[in-house]
Structures are given as C-alpha cells and as structure tokens.
Amino acid sequence: MKHLLKLSDLTKKEILSLLNLADQLKYEHKHGIPHSLLKGKTLGMIFQKSSTRTRVSFEAGMYQLGGYAMFLSSNDLQIGRGEPVEDTARTLSRYIDGIMIRTFEQKEVESLAEYGNIPVINGLTDFAHPCQVLADLMTVREYKNRLDGLKLCYIGDGNNMANSLTVGGLKVGMKVSLAIPKGYEPDEKVLAFAESHSDFELLHEPMVAATNADVVITDVWASMGMEKEQEQRIADFKGYQVNRELMAVAKPDAMVMHCLPAHREEEITTEIFEKHAKEIFDEAENRLHAQKAVLVKLMG
C-alpha cells in the first residue's frame, strides 16, 4: 500500500490490517502509551473544501505520532492561482513526507500520487471518502465485534459516502443495501464493482433497505459544492430520512452512524440523532485512530 486514494485499491487484508493497527493505537492513546512512530515526519494537508473533523484529527494525529502537520489552504497555495497539481506534487515531494488532500475531483488526487513520490491520502473528494469509511468500519467492529455478514444500510444521496461505504462494506464481507432516489445513484464504477456481489442491493425504498439492518447510515442530501442544488434536493430526497419509523424495521440493536456534519430533520431526525449520539461521536473519534493507522502504514 503506497497511497490511500480510494478503498477499491485496497484488499480486504489491507483494510483489516489498518483496522487492527487503529485499534492498537487507540488502546495505546487511551492508556498513555507513547507511540512516536512518525518522529521527524511532516504531513502537508491541502484543503479546497471546509473541514472540522478531517483537519483536526489529522493534525492532532500527526502530533501524537511525534510528527508535524502543515495546514495548506488552497487559497494560499499557488494551486489556487492555477499552478498544476503535477508541479505541486513534485515540489512538495522535495520538502515533506506525505500529503493529505481534500478536493473536488478524484483525478486531482490521483495526479498528486502519480507525479509526486510521497504517499497521498484522500481526505474526501466528490467520489470517495476512504478515511471516513475506515473509521466507520472500525466503529461497527467495536460495537458488534465483527463485520462479516452484518447488514449495512445506507439511505440518501449516492455520493462520496455511498461510494466508499459500498466498496468498503462489500470488501470486508458485509451485506450492503442502499436506498437512493432515482437520478442520484452512486458512481458507475462503484456499481460495476458492487453488482458482481450477491450481497449488494440498490433500491429506491428506504423501508425495504433498512429491514433487519445491523447498521443504518446516512449523509447530507447536498454535499459540499452542491449548495446551489439544496432546494431541489430537499424535494427529491423527501422520504429518504432516518427516523423512528425507519428504525422500527431495522434490528432492535441496530446502530446509526453519520459522518457529520448532519442536517437535522432533513436526512435524520433530531430524535434518532440524539438517541444514537454515542455511536455517532465514537465514529467521529475513530477518525483520529483510523487515520493514525493510515499515516503509520504509509509514512512509518
């Protein structure tokens, strides 16, 4: 494993090995056992979109590993004035040991990896959010003690989260059931991968998708960069909400997760959000531990 660009690049074994390392680093962190595994290493973090969790967890994670994280806003970099990503990659490779990037196009992340000679981590693109889904799988395993055979249900937009959850969930042996409005389906490449699995279904009925689910996950109806479509999406996504009625058909002990930020009373009701807040914020916490595992594997 040289980069973390998207989960389809990883084998099941690589994903599970990252989760095992994440569990170990979490244990060490909680027990005050030092793990300066990246002493003297620098991570550059390029952000072309807003972030709370990704930015803070990567920065804190690098510090806890004995390294340094540099926040690089694209407004301040020459990239914001049109310098090609290929040149940015070759320049940064001369100074630092790894790059985390949050941007729009997946192609940009792939180009950084191709032209630079340091590890590149995808901190969210319009196509994928692999760091989030590693944290999600880690959280499910913490609560359920396994992943294999569990039913993961995702309700909402066929966006970066739907893409990465589908690939990640299927890779680790989960059943993946999506309820997505017509016209908002996940990426074609993801569907091509998923449709070869008998444990995958793409539906338009949330109640069917959620039936007997072990884990119910949702995400915002309008992702970053799609704010202009907000009104249209509110109309198109009506009924694709995680609420009390939907949870009544899931398993009685079903978890609810959300990558955050959440829009209450849109994709999830306040009632269900607060009822499952422990899981949702454990999920947010696990971004830290899962990403530290990624950083150690790639830069250690």
Helix ranges (H only) for 65-182 are: 85-92, 106-115, 130-144, 160-171
219 is catalytic: yes
Interaction between residue 132 and ligand CP (CB under 6 A):
yes
DSSP secondary structure string for all residues of 5-37? S-GGGS-HHHHHHHHHHHHHHHHHHHTT----T
Give the burial string for 284-297 (b: 16+ CB within 10 Å, else e): bbbbbbbbbbbbbb
Q: Under a CB-based contact definition with an 8 Å cutoff, are residues 47 and 224 in contact?
A: no
Considering the complex, what minimum distance in angstroms separates the CB of residue 87 from ligand NVA?
27
Q: Which of residues 166-185 bind ligand CP (CB under 6 A)?
A: none
Measured CA to CA, the distance from residue 222 to residue 231 in angstroms comes to: 9
- Smaller CB separation from ligand NVA, 96 or 131: 131
Catalytic residue among 97, 136, 214, 219: 219
Interaction between residue 54 and ligand CP (CB under 6 A):
yes
Q: Which of residues 161-180 bind ligand NVA (CB under 6 A)?
A: 161
Which region among 57-65, 91-99, 144-152, 158-166 touches ligand NVA (by CB under 6 A)?
A: 158-166
Query: Residue 52 touches which of ligand NVA, ligand CP, none (CB < 5 to 8 A by kind)?
Result: ligand CP
Interaction between residue 262 and ligand NVA (CB under 6 A):
no
CA 60 to chain centre: 18
199 is catalytic: no
Catalytic residue among 48, 64, 106, 132: 132
Q: Let me know if 111 is exposed, middle or buried by CB neighbors in 10 A (0-12, 13-18, 19+).
A: middle
For residue 147, give the 3-state DSSP assignment: coil
- Single out the residue of 259, 268, 290, 295 in contact with ligand CP (rule: CB under 6 A): 259
- Single out the residue of 20, 52, 117, 230 in contact with ligand CP (rule: CB under 6 A): 52
Catalytic residue among 53, 102, 258, 289: 102
Interaction between residue 224 and ligand NVA (CB under 6 A):
yes
Strands of the sheet with 98-102, listed across from one edge: 68-73, 42-47, 98-102, 120-122
Interface contacts to ligand NVA, rule CB under 6 A: 124, 159-161, 219-220, 223-224, 259
Known catalytic residues are: 102, 129, 132, 219, 259, 287
